[in-house]
Amino acid sequence: MVWTRVRLCGPSGPSAGGWRPLRFDGGAFRLKGTAELARAWLVLRLCAWPPAVAHGLALQAWSRRVLGSRLSGALLRASVYGQFVAGETAEEVEGCVRQLRALGLQPLLAVPTEEEPESAAKSSEAWYEGNLRAMLRCVDLSRALADAPGPARNSLMQLKVTALASTQLCKDLSAWIQRPGGSSELSPEGLAEAMDSGRGVQLPCLSAEQNRHLQASLRRLHRVAQHARAQHVRLLVDAEYTFINPALSLLAAALAARWNRPGEGGPWVWNTYQAYLKDTHKRLEWDAEAAHKAGLAFGVKLVRGAYLDKERAVAQLQGTEDYTQPDYEATSRSYSRCLELMLRRVSRHGPLCHLMVASHNEESIGQATKRCPDRR
């Protein structure tokens, strides 16, 4: 991933300085041992095997029954978990971060709270309060891992809204937002004021119980953002499924209205935009301009997307419109357009506009880095 907050070169091309683009020559492999590379290859093959992807949870449950929870857990930690998770302890995470820094990379920590929307695990306020405590600890760890004291080097952390607010609440809010005139009752400014004041929120589209849960969720989101700002940690709000993204964007905008104000030092709350959705460029353009008119800093994490198959399956099952791009090439074109839009805005607005190019695609990274100025 590439993160830029500096002025970029204009459309005419890169600066005449000594900027050297990123290289993709496998140099990162030199920091990995044979066992780590073998594990990476094995996990890659497993993730490319359709039966393992489709029945992953069932295979995990079968492993627990046959091997027992301890042995099954050890096998998981040595394979998939060990590949994708920085570590279970602060010491393990620090070791992983040292390897990243040797490559000139900064860490982006995330609390692992991935659940399917229908999961029964999200059934009580206690679950969300536990996630809140975990996220506050993650903020502290993100700050502790910074390679410079104070605000000079700001850390990054991913924020998953559905770890602090129920998927059902986000689904109901999204449905109301998409109704004609429904968004007028759910302004980011109103929710930001509710977060700041702690006053109760009573929305007519929600039941009394849901309103209480919304109020608790706003409090949790506010606490994380407040603590992150105090610790100089920037929060990147993760995108999820299409049917709840309107609510996630609303809550991200509410946090931004509070924490991305002028004089705060750039955007502390960023939103994620998924290029595999057909309307992403339009929404990104609208949101960027709205932030500019409001005098707010604007932070964007630009991704291709992670829920393509599920989105298409849901659309087919429900007989609704498929909001995803038709193929990989269309997604790449969408990503390139969104990237160019944000590169222009970073060039124009400088410190008030931050962009993370979150892509595994060499062409996309090259598109961004060739526009960066000489920073030696």
Nearest CA among 52, 61, 330, 110 for reference residue 234? 110
* pLDDT at residue 366 greater than cutoff 90: no
Q: Once rounded to an integer, what is the mean pLDDT over residues 299-305?
A: 94
| Whole-number percent of the chain with pLDDT over 90 | 40
Q: Once rounded to an integer, what is the mean pLDDT over residues 171-194?
A: 83
* pLDDT at residue 20 greater than cutoff 60: no
Q: 44 pLDDT band (50/70/90 cuts)?
A: confident
The top-scoring range by mean pLDDT among 183-192, 262-271, 332-341 is 332-341
Task: Give the per-residue pLDDT at 95.
Answer: 85
Amino acid at 169: L
Q: Other CB atoms closer than 10 Å to residue 306's CB: what's the count?
A: 14
Domain boundaries, the chain: 2-25+111-369
Q: Supply the pTM of this predicted model.
A: 0.84
- Phi and psi, residue 30, nearest 5°: -65, -20
Amino acid at 56: G
Task: Give the per-residue pLDDT at 11.
Answer: 41
Strands 108-110 and 155-159: parallel
The span from the CA of 197 to the CA of 84, in Å, is 39
pLDDT tens per residue, range 141-165: 998 887 655 554 568 999 999 999 9
Task: Give the per-residue pLDDT at 248.
Answer: 94
CATH number of 2-25+111-369: 3.20.20.220
pLDDT tens per residue, range 238-258: 998 888 999 999 999 999 999
Under 8 Å between Cβ of 364 and 337: no
Q: 21 pLDDT band (50/70/90 cuts)?
A: low
Task: Give the per-residue pLDDT at 118.
Answer: 56
